[in-house]
Amino acid sequence: MSAPSIPNLLSLLGGRGSRGRSRGGSTGTTTNQSSSSSHDATIQGTDTDASISRLSAVDLGYLRDPFASHFVTQRQRSSPTRRLPIINRGTYTRTTGIDFLVSKFLSSTDPTKPRQIISLGAGTDTRSLQLFSSFAHQNISYHEIDFPTMIGKKQFVICTALWTLLSPLNPSSEPNTSSTTYSFTRSPSNTLTLHPLDLRSLTQSLPLPNLSPSHPTLIISECCLCYLPPSTTSQIISSLSTHFPSSGIIIYEPIEPHDAFGKMMVSNLAARGIEMPTLEEYPTQASQEERLRREGGFTQVKSKTIDKVWDDWVSLVEKERVDELEGGLDEVEEWKLLAGHYLIVWGWKGDGLEMRE
């Protein structure tokens, strides 16, 4: 496959979610506020790609997610929502990898005591809803942070279209809202709190409501921090890791912008008005790992490119099931090239916390 025919890499950013990805832009002066606001809107718009790509993977059987369809509007459905097989596999693999690490965090913490998950730039991500749709986990305080516009839309969908799907765990519960957060009680021990907050002001907003520094905490950034200036991401990682002494972190971002494929990736993003400042600041697997050690003080740090996640964390039986969904993947070399430019890097610190693969 020649370079011009390789799929637009932004499509891979929409998974179960690119979950996000609504958080970029530079803080503006009076003369560039309009440009900054426009860039924010562009980045928020990538969440549409996220929800559509997630729905494509669900509709074709790659993923199971009863909530995915509720975050794609009828207007969005009027355009084709089916992604190319290589993109569906990317959505599946990155989702599987992050789910694997979330499970590692939960299994290493005491289920009889509170533990917390913070999703940065959560957008229409459905991981929290899926965790709370069964009795498998207890004592989880799940927090999602995003722009007020994004959080308001999600709160509306949960309160209208999704409440009946979620209610069996606690049919008597109702959403509790305040001027700054939306809190949903899923059971006596599980809660979801939505924080309408621009991540660029996160360090000035700590501590956030309903978050305790004494509880083990997992921080997730799935194509989110990459849209912010490196100095801002450094402050966010440092502040959160300091505020939560026992914590883990999972970051999913693109890497390797300087080879031929990486240059095309950057060009594709730029054509849509999207910049990823951290891509230049942390361009390699090694620099991403060092980032977590230096900025977050994480004593244990690991990473895998998405192609290695597929190779190492997806069982043979599951690989066969996925391959049968669309008759196998013809573009094997293209898959390795594409998936090799995306990375999951994770770290952890604190007594008793263990996220080793």
Residues forming the annotated binding site?
Answer: 94, 121, 198-199, 222
Which H helix or E strand runs over 177?
A: strand 176-177
C-alpha 245/C-alpha 351 separation (Å) is: 9
Give the neighbor-by-neighbor strand order of the sheet with 247-254.
Answer: 176-177, 182-185, 191-196, 140-146, 115-120, 217-222, 247-254, 342-349, 300-305
* Cα distances (Å, whole numbers) of residue 52 to 17, 55, 69: 9, 5, 9
Q: Which of 342, 344, 339 is nearest to 86 (CA)?
A: 339
Q: Which of 342, 257, 262, 252 is nearest to 305 (CA)?
A: 342
Biggest CA–CA distance in the chain, Å, is 57
How many CB atoms are located within 10 Å of the residue 29 CB? 8
Binding-site residues for S-adenosyl-L-methionine sit at 94, 121, 198-199, 222
CA angle 319, 323, 329 (to 5 degrees): 120
